[in-house]
Chains A and B, each alone.
Chain A
Amino acid sequence: MSGSVVGKLDAAIVEHLSAPRGRSLWQDAFLRLRHNRAAMVAGTVLGTIVLAALIVPLISSYNYYTPQWALLDTAPTLHGGHIFGTDDLGRDLLVRVMWGCRISLMIGIVASLVSVIIGVTWGAVAGYVGGSIDSLMMRVVDILYAVPFIPFVIVLVVLFGRNIFLMFVAIGVVSWLDIARIVRGQTLSLRNKEFIEAARAAGVRGPSIVFRHLVPNLLGIVIIYATLTVPSVILFEAFLSFLGLGVQAPMTSLGVLVSDGAGELQSYPYLLLIPAAFLALIVYCLNFLGDGLCEALDPKDR
Chain B
Amino acid sequence: MTSSTAERTAMTFRTLPAATLCAAAAALLSALGACAPAPRVQCDFSPLVMGQEVLPPGPLMMPTTPGTMKEIPLNTVSMIDPGVAGRVMVQSVMAGRNAAGNLAVTARLVNCTDYPQQVQGRTQFFDEAQRSAEPPSAWQRLHLPPRSFTSYNEVSVSGPAVGSFIIELRSGN
| Chains A and B belong together in one complex | no
B residues near A (Cβ < 8 Å) are none
